[in-house]
Amino acid sequence: MNHTIELRKVSKYYAGESGVSMGFARLDLALDMGEFVAITGESGSGKSTLLNVISGLDTYDEGEMFVCGEDTTAFQTEEYERYRKTYIGNIFQDFNLVNSYTVYQNIELVMLMCGKKASECGERINELIELVGLTEYSKTKASKLSGGQKQRVAIARALAKDAPVIVADEPTGNLDSESARVVMETLSRVSKDRLVVIVTHNYEQAEPFVTRKLTMHDGRIIEDKRIVQPEETEVTVQPEAEDMRKGSEIRLGLRNTFNLPAKLILLFIVYLFVSTAVLSQYASAKNSQHSQDVLGYNQYFTDTSAERILVTKPDRTAMTEEDIAKVASIDNIGSIVRNDLAIDQQISLQLSDYYIDATVYPSSQLKKSQLTYGRLPEADNEIVIYSSSTAWDYDYLKGLEDKIINQTGCIGYQDDSNILMLKDKLVVVGIILDDSSDGLSISGASRLYMTETESDKLKTRQMAYLCKTTVDYNGSKIIHEGGLCVLPSASVPKGKAYISEDLAMNYQGDKVVDKPLAITVTNSYFADKLDLKVGKVFEKKNVASVLGISKESYDSYTGIVFVNDAEYNNMFNKGIFQISAYMEDETAFRQTTKALEEAGFKAFLLKDSLTDFTGGFSFVITLLQYASLIIEFIVLFFIAYAVIRLIMKSRNSYYSTLRILGANKKNTDSVLRIELLLVMFLAYAVDMSFVIMLRKGIISLASLRSKLNFLSALDYVILLVVLMAMSLLIARRYSRKIFTKSAMNSYRGEV
């Protein structure tokens, strides 16, 4: 017949510094269901060692031990875990209850660990609480109970998993005699259909209840006295205890997060610090990434400042006045330049002795406070020159302010020594010399500010300058990729073209007048064609009479086809196809381009057109930036780990209790993980609400807000993932620490 527990010549030795000492030696013992066994003997006789071996908390060195017929000789750690969980209910001298849990929760804990559902165990738990006589304390926290009550909770807990064996080492050691009597009486009651083994040095307390007495001396059983013979019962191998459910792990994780407020607050503060530090480090990295982004050059755009957004219609049609008004009304759009072409087309300002390379802006963008000399333009022919310290003409302009102010000049396209005039009789009324180059991207051209109407008038010519223009001289085609080859003149009648002498050579034969001449223009927004007949051929001697242009400037007009000004206007002035919108806060570019796109426009950030100066090595800089960010995260991780470990020290006893009750590494891992993740989510949520309030303007901290502008939704997800990874790693490291100690050591260490 199988015994519940059977030891055959089992020995246990301890290897210590002073050599090997004996726990007990060559013990033969058989214990059966229905027995209530008390092990007694003087201190050091091996009682605890024997009990620990029986309960699987300690291994043995020699002999064989059988439990319900199962051989335990070859058991490894995991098998001992299963063994303890399936067969053994433990009662400890120091109770080992979870103090922050109620009586009910303490018992529930064991049932959850054995794979029960929380909703299924209520009835059984209440039964057990009644059995140990604590019904009215069901909702009382364990910390509020007397010792005797605690031990009765421990008995109920030991019974909760339906293990066939209950072991207890000095269960009444910390109790007064009346409490001890109640505990003994309770144990006796539960031993009717179980095997109960206790260690006691106070045998008188146990005597009235026990069925068998074992007396030990020097690691041997010197007396085995049966007081009551147990009934013979068939012993069967127990069904294996199930593993803990995921739901139960979450339940415990949640409970542990909130049932110790002080610990929750401390952990929360640490996580808030970590989350905020990670967020701000990440935002700084993005910030410097941005500063690097806005440096560079582009050969098509002169103004590549970070504030500038090029706005077009997605179908590339012309923009209406309503469209422009709509763009202007969008949040963070400070000003709009309607003649966008002027910003990127370099022209030359010719003064009596100087000429300056510049691009044209509307004076509405200027503030009076920016002026270094003079005043803002009032009349249409008045201009202000702006030169930043990075402009080519800056040094040259500096010191000449007195001479330049009030000078009259003209603007035009510079071509070798000639200038193709755009507008003349302009007066310089103000000068801005800007020493702070930080507001502008690096561009060599100065700026001319003139009234919006004046600037607007230039746009037909500037469009013509950009077009690809093909002139077909009756079969011989000349293609001009940009630049001016067609000009308007009121002197030319409709349907006619006046061509310069040199162009007449494109026709075979002498007769040029009335020969067909076709002009085709294309650009990225439209295409057009004009069919004409040659009206006149002009040369130096007749240019004044034919076109009203002075003889001296004839050289500027060689290679030019003059057409009727109304027809010219029809061909090139088809509306405004692109405008430039300037942001007030460049760092909010993401939100602003999004708003523009939502309003039905295409938005192109000029900073994105830049080629960086490092010649392709910017990725190295970026790489270094991210590498240092990762190092910062790692340092942060270790700081957080050290602090969290300190905080969780108070939880060590909780986790070793779990371990002693039979939780495996995976279970404690999950419970801990949930606990840490939850607090992390809380801290992250607080940070995110702060971010949202900043963004919505509920909290106004401009400097912080602009830093956050560089973060997109994806970045916040990345941050969350980083924080989650940190929490999981912390949980793993910590639970490894708990588990490097064996069950026995952590039990001894904590109890």
Cβ closest to ligand ADP, residue 14 vs residue 396: 14
48 is an interface residue for ligand ADP by CB under 6 A: yes
Residue 510 CA to residue 168 CA, distance in Å, equals: 126
Hey, what are 299's tokens? 């050969």
Question: Can you name the residues that pair with 349 across neighbouring β-strands?
Answer: 356, 411
Q: Are 69 and 143 in contact (CB under 8 A)?
A: no
If we measure between CA atoms, which residue out of 412, 444, 448 comes closest to residue 427?
Answer: 448
49 is an interface residue for ligand ADP by CB under 6 A: yes
Q: How far is the CB of 46 from ligand ADP (least distance, A)?
A: 4
Q: How far is the CB of 186 from Mg ion (least distance, A)?
A: 22
40 is an interface residue for Mg ion by CB under 5 A: no
Question: What dihedral angle (degrees, nearest 10) is formed by the CA atoms of 724, 727, 728, 733?
Answer: 160
Cβ closest to ligand ADP, residue 489 vs residue 742: 742
Alpha helices for 451-560 (secondary structure H): 452-457, 459-466, 543-547
Single out the segment in contact with Mg ion by CB under 5 A; choices: 18-26, 41-49, 250-258, 732-740: 41-49
Residue 363: burial class (beta carbons within 10 Å; 0-12, 13-18, 19+): buried
Residue 430, contacted partner among ligand ADP, Mg ion, none, CB below 5-8 A by kind: none
| Residues contacting residue 295 through CB under 8 Å, at least 6 positions apart | 441, 442, 610, 612, 613
Residue 61 CA to residue 216 CA, distance in Å, equals: 19
Q: Among 43, 119, 329, 550, which residue sits at the site for ligand ADP (rule: CB under 6 A)?
A: 43
Q: How far is the CB of 55 from Mg ion (least distance, A)?
A: 13
Q: How far is the CB of 44 from ligand ADP (least distance, A)?
A: 4
16 is an interface residue for ligand ADP by CB under 6 A: yes
Residue 23, contacted partner among Mg ion, ligand ADP, none, CB below 5-8 A by kind: ligand ADP
Q: How far is the CB of 187 from Mg ion (least distance, A)?
A: 18
18 is an interface residue for ligand ADP by CB under 6 A: no
Cβ closest to Mg ion, residue 48 vs residue 55: 48
Q: Among 7, 29, 35, 47, which residue sits at the site for ligand ADP (rule: CB under 6 A)?
A: 47
Single out the segment in contact with ligand ADP by CB under 6 A; choices: 37-45, 315-323, 408-416, 635-643: 37-45
Cβ closest to ligand ADP, residue 21 vs residue 135: 21
Q: Among 40, 45, 48, 149, which residue sits at the site for Mg ion (rule: CB under 5 A)?
A: 48
Q: Are 161 and 241 in contact (CB under 8 A)?
A: yes
Hey, what are 305's tokens? 């400042």
Strand pairing category for 36-41 and 195-199: parallel
Q: How far is the CB of 746 from ligand ADP (least distance, A)?
A: 13
Single out the segment in contact with ligand ADP by CB under 6 A; choices: 16-24, 356-364, 496-504, 561-569: 16-24
Residue 157, contacted partner among ligand ADP, Mg ion, none, CB below 5-8 A by kind: none
Residue 16, contacted partner among ligand ADP, Mg ion, none, CB below 5-8 A by kind: ligand ADP
171 is an interface residue for ligand ADP by CB under 6 A: no
Q: Are 501 and 559 in contact (CB under 8 A)?
A: no
If we measure between CA atoms, which residue out of 368, 370, 354, 346 comes closest to residue 448?
Answer: 346
Cβ closest to Mg ion, residue 213 vs residue 263: 213
Site map (CB under 6 A) of ligand ADP, residues 705-724, x = contact: --------------------
| Residues contacting residue 211 through CB under 8 Å, at least 6 positions apart | 34, 35, 36, 37, 191, 226, 227, 228, 230
Residue 21, contacted partner among ligand ADP, Mg ion, none, CB below 5-8 A by kind: ligand ADP
| Chain residues 314-353 in contact with ligand ADP, contact rule CB under 6 A | none
Residue 14, contacted partner among Mg ion, ligand ADP, none, CB below 5-8 A by kind: ligand ADP
Q: Are 549 and 564 in contact (CB under 8 A)?
A: no
The three-class DSSP label of residue 486 is strand
46 is an interface residue for ligand ADP by CB under 6 A: yes
Question: Can you name the residues that pair with 168 across neighbouring β-strands?
Answer: 91, 198
CB atoms within 10 A of CB 713: 8
Helix (H) or strand (E) holding 326: helix 321-328
Residue 428 CA to residue 373 CA, distance in Å, equals: 10
Local structure of residue 70 (DSSP, 8 states) = E
Residue 619, contacted partner among ligand ADP, Mg ion, none, CB below 5-8 A by kind: none
Q: Are 212 and 224 in contact (CB under 8 A)?
A: yes
Q: How far is CA 462 from CA 43, 484, 640, in A?
A: 106, 9, 61
213 is an interface residue for ligand ADP by CB under 6 A: no
Q: Long-range contacts for 623-626 (Cβ within 8 Å, ≥24 apart)?
A: 625/285, 625/288, 625/289, 626/285
Single out the segment in contact with Mg ion by CB under 5 A; choices: 42-50, 423-431, 450-458, 735-743: 42-50
Residue 740, contacted partner among Mg ion, ligand ADP, none, CB below 5-8 A by kind: none
Local structure of residue 553 (DSSP, 8 states) = G
44 is an interface residue for ligand ADP by CB under 6 A: yes
Q: How far is the CB of 221 from ligand ADP (least distance, A)?
A: 12
Q: How far is the CB of 13 from ligand ADP (least distance, A)?
A: 9
Residue 46, contacted partner among ligand ADP, Mg ion, none, CB below 5-8 A by kind: ligand ADP
Tokens 């004409």 -> residue: 532
Residue numbers of the site for Mg ion (CB under 5 A)? 48
Residue numbers of the site for ligand ADP (CB under 6 A)? 14, 16, 21, 23, 41, 43-49
